[in-house]
């Protein structure tokens, strides 16, 4: 099962990707997480990516595509994968398709998570992340038990640079201009379906599973 999760920053792709990964026992591939790990360890890739990430722009396609092509060929993707944050534009989608063609594989479902702009800004501006395990919190809706430290591993919780107000606007604009056209792209291929991204995490996971199942029965 090869799944693509689409949605604006803050729509919940990371959270839902994690649930789907546990459910289907296939890896979640988050390009944002891979890039951030590279920035943290100051690799050449990370140093190159940082300047784009800090201003909310997309990292150049060739960098991200190479990274994903290598990742989906890894042993643990044999039974499938969940892409979270990739593709982000039509060029990346085309590169993915031709890579999968070459591997005799295909995308089984593209699920878009719909959340309105006001809610996205509310979520992103209050989001806090554990530096070590990546657990997500929100200053108002789901704060950690002890301010500043992770409930799961006790490490420091921080605000991502690109979750600051001015960068959020830039990221949403990039989404609208570059990523949004993928909805039409995948709709034409009869792969796209959308779920409402407002509700409890479990409710949304169920809606995603239902829509994937429906698509399987119709194909
Ligand atoms: P995310 O964690 O998915 O919100 O990604 C954080 C940042 O990483 C984005 O704002 C981009 O700068 C970069 N990034 C993540 N995925 C991609 C991608 N597929 N193409 C280009 N840049 C990306």
The Cα-based distances of 16 to 11, 22, 93, 213 in angstroms read 9, 10, 21, 16
For residues 150 and 132, the answer to whether their CB atoms sit within 8 Å is yes
**In percent, how much of the chain has pLDDT > 90?**
92
Does the domain at residues 2-116+173-218 carry the CATH identifier 3.40.50.300?
Answer: yes
**pLDDT score for 170:** 96
pTM: 0.94
User: Ligand 1 pocket: which of 53, 60, 83, 174 to mutate (most atoms <8 Å of CB)?
Assistant: 53
127 labelled catalytic: yes
- Domain edges within the chain: 2-116+173-218
88 labelled catalytic: yes
Looking at the DSSP bridge assignments, the partners of residue 127 are 138
Closest C-alpha to ligand 1, atom 6 = 32
Question: For 55-90, how does the pLDDT look when each residue is reduced to its tens digit (9 = 90+)?
Answer: 999 999 999 999 999 999 999 999 999 999 999 999
Q: Residue 121 is encoded by which pair of tokens?
A: 């800004």
The answer, yes or no, to whether residue 154 has pLDDT greater than 80, is yes
Q: Which residues are within 8 A (CB) of 119 and not within 5 positions of it... i.e. 6 or more apart?
A: 10, 198
Q: Check whether the bond before 218 is cis (ω within 30° of 0).
A: no
Torsions phi, psi of 63, nearest 5?
-65, -50
Task: Tell me which residue has tokens 């657990």.
Answer: 135
The Cα-based distances of 84 to 111, 142, 144, 145, 149 in angstroms read 10, 22, 24, 28, 26
Question: For 12-27, how does the pLDDT look when each residue is reduced to its tens digit (9 = 90+)?
Answer: 999 999 999 999 999 9
Compute, in angstroms, the gap from residue 219 CA to the centroid of ligand 1: 31
Q: Is the CB of 88 under 6 A from ligand 1?
A: yes
Q: Residue 119 is encoded by which pair of tokens?
A: 């809610």
User: Ligand 1 pocket: which of 28, 34, 50, 58 to mutate (most atoms <8 Å of CB)?
Assistant: 58
Compute, in angstroms, the gap from residue 181 CA to the centroid of ligand 1: 16
- DSSP H or E run through 128: strand 127-130
Shortest-distance atom of ligand 1 to CA 87 = 19
Please tell me the distance from the alpha carbon of residue 141 to that of residue 138, in angstroms, as a whole number. 5
**pLDDT score for 120:** 97
193 labelled catalytic: no
Longest dimension (CA), the chain: 49
**pLDDT score for 217:** 77
Q: Is the CB of 52 under 6 A from ligand 1?
A: yes
Please tell me the distance from the alpha carbon of residue 100 to that of residue 72, in angstroms, as a whole number. 9
- Quote the mean pLDDT of the chain: 96
Shortest-distance atom of ligand 1 to CA 9 = 4
Q: How confident is the model at residue 46 (pLDDT cuts 50, 70, 90)?
A: very high
131 labelled catalytic: no
**pLDDT score for 60:** 98
171 labelled catalytic: yes
Please tell me the distance from the alpha carbon of residue 34 to that of residue 68, in angstroms, as a whole number. 10
Task: Tell me which residue has tokens 């600051």.
Answer: 164
């Amino acid at each position: 099962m090869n799944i693509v999760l689409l949605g604006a920053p803050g729509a919940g792709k990371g959270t839902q990707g994690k649930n789907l990964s546990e459910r289907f026992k296939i890896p979640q591939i988050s390009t944002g997480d891979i890039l951030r790990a590279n920035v943290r360890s100051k690799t050449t890739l990370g140093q190159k990516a940082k300047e784009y990430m800090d201003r909310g722009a997309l990292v150049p396609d060739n960098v991200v595509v190479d990274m994903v092509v290598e990742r989906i060929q890894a042993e643990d993707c044999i039974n499938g994968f969940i892409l979270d944050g990739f593709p982000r534009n039509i060029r990346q989608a085309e590169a993915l398709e031709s890579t999968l063609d070459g591997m005799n594989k295909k995308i089984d479902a593209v699920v878009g998570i719909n959340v309105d702009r006001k809610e996205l800004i509310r979520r992103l501006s209050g989001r806090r992340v554990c530096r070590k395990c990546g657990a997500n919190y929100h200053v108002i809706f789901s704060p950690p038990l002890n301010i500043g430290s992770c409930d799961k591993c006790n490490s420091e919780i921080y605000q991502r640079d690109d979750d600051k107000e001015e960068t959020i606007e830039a990221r949403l604009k990039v989404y609208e201009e570059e990523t949004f056209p993928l909805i039409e792209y995948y709709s034409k291929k009869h792969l796209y379906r959308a779920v409402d991204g407002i509700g409890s995490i479990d409710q949304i996971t169920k809606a995603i599973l239902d829509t994937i199942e429906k698509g399987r029965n119709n194909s």
